[in-house]
């Protein structure tokens, strides 16, 4: 049997502790499957005295994660500290420069520095793996780089943030408004005290940028992801969408259009009967479309101790077996920056207008839409007060830029009493 594969673990929070538990619980099974023993040799975290519920006495302790990354008795550095820069990035760079493999769950670091780190890994003959950085326990990176490697990927989409999905599904199921459900999510531990990264779509956009680069063979471009959160979604929109057979989801979509790469993370409507529409709670779902395979749907836990540790161990097993695939599926030096799509693919839209309650206001709004080549598929007017007339519209497929101009014109007109709301309807 080959020599053991030796692991250094930087970070002993929820995920790091989960990795320790998995190695200790399944040592015999992991050895049998990898063909060599999987051993933790050293660890690093902020506090030595904290009780983490696992036995760490058999591991060397390093206070400095960079010193941990330099150790001679380490083959793989597992980085689960978090943080875009700082100690996490320094430790990863040190490990790679010393020819050590790196496995990380740090989506923010990779979204901003993934290209440089991938080039550093390849220059030193090391692997850089990040299954745990995207969609928790779902093996979606492996699906792209291995199982679907024979396909030209045409579209990537998915629900990649469990906090947002929990909030949106609870709003629909209970009729509670956004603020109340967010507070509930914080009390349950699904949302942080400062939830901006989650509800603002940033966390999910990091993940989309990594999947997009892997799917389309481009450099990671987080800045190129058009990002919109769920904080402006109202209960009214969720209820109106449900009446029309749709569910509201924070949906990430990446596709290669004729004029370049389109990447967006935004609230969208999806058919309620679809797998994405039926996705409840904190579960994640990722959908890949390939030219030969068609559509593949992957669903599972998007975060948590067990799910993330499971993803990390999958990467450990690959390295232990001698599998070293470039971080983004092709050599980093072959990756090129993608041209960004100027307007994006056409789509139908859900619109909510608040019009003055007097004759001719809807006709004026419809006229403005028509002037911008926006065709109405169906509309509905809801009960209203004496002053306002709320109207919902579903359009036929429209060019996004044309729609935005039309809504700006409606907003500036005398018939509009509030800024129009527009949600894209994603075809599945």
Catalytic residues: 207
**Size (the chain), residues:** 428
* CA–CA distance, 79 with 69 (Å, rounded to integer): 10
- Dihedral, CA atoms, 234, 240, 243, 249, nearest 10 degrees? -50
**Contact yes or no for 100/81 (Cβ under 8 A):** no
Tokens for 337?
């920056």
Largest Cα–Cα separation, the chain: 83
How many C-beta atoms surround the C-beta of residue 242 within 10 A?
15
- Dihedral, CA atoms, 364, 401, 153, 299, nearest 10 degrees? -50
* CA–CA distance, 210 with 207 (Å, rounded to integer): 5
- Any idea what DSSP says for residue 147? I
Tokens for 74?
């380490």
Tokens for 390?
């709320």
Nearest to 401 by CA among 361, 354, 366, 349: 349
Q: Is 56 buried (19+), middle (13-18) or exposed (0-12) by CB count in 10 A?
A: middle
DSSP string spanning 308-361? HHHHHHHHHHHHHTT----TTSS-GGG-BPPPBPSS---BEEEEEEEEESSTTH
According to DSSP, the β-strands at 60-61 and 38-44 are parallel
Nearest to 131 by CA among 306, 312, 270: 312
**Contact yes or no for 7/74 (Cβ under 8 A):** yes
* CA–CA distance, 132 with 308 (Å, rounded to integer): 5
φ, ψ for residue 396, nearest 5 deg: -75, 175
């Amino acid at each position: 049997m080959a020599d053991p594969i030796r692991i250094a673990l930087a970070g002993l929070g929820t995920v790091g502790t989960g990795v320790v538990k998995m190695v200790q619980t399944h040592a015999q099974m992991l050895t049998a499957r990898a063909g060599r023993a999987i051993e933790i040799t050293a660890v690093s975290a902020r506090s030595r005295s904290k009780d983490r519920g696992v036995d760490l006495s058999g591991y060397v302790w390093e206070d400095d994660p960079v010193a941990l990354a330099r150790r001679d008795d380490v083959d793989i550095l597992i980085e689960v500290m978090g943080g875009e820069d700082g100690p996490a990035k320094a430790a990863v760079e040190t490990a790679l420069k010393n020819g050590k493999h790196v496995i990380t769950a740090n989506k923010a670091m990779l979204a901003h520095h993934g290209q440089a780190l991938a080039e550093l890994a390849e220059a030193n003959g090391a692997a850089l793996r990040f299954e745990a950085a995207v969609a928790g326990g779902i093996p979606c990176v492996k699906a792209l780089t291995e199982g679907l490697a024979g396909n030209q990927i045409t579209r990537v989409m998915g629900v990649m943030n469990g906090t947002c999905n929990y909030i949106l599904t609870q709003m629909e199921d209970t009729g509670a408004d956004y603020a109340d459900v967010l507070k509930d999510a914080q009390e349950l531990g699904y949302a942080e005290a400062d939830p901006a990264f989650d509800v603002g779509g940033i966390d999910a956009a990091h993940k989309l940028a990594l999947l997009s680069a892997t799917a389309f063979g481009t450099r990671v471009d987080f800045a190129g992801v058009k990002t919109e959160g769920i904080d402006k979604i109202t209960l009214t929109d969720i209820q109106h969408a449900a009446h029309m057979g749709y569910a509201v989801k924070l949906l990430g979509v990446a596709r290669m259009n004729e004029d370049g790469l389109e990447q967006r993370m935004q609230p969208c409507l999806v058919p309620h009967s679809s797998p994405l529409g039926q996705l409840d709670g904190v579960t994640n779902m990722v959908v890949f479309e390939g030219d030969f395979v068609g559509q593949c749907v992957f669903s599972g836990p998007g975060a948590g101790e067990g799910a993330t540790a499971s993803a990390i161990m999958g990467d450990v097993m690959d390295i232990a077996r001698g599998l070293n695939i470039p971080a983004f599926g092709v050599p980093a030096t072959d990756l090129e920056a993608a041209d960004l799509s100027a307007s994006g693919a056409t789509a139908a839209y859900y619109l909510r207008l608040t019009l003055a309650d007097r004759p001719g206001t809807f006709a004026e709004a419809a006229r403005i839409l028509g002037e911008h080549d926006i065709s109405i598929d169906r509309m509905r007017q809801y009960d209203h007060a004496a002053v306002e007339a709320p109207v919902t519209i579903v359009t036929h497929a429209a060019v996004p830029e044309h729609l935005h101009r039309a809504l700006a014109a409606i907003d500036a007109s005398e018939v509009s009493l509030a800024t129009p709301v527009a949600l894209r309807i994603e075809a599945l």
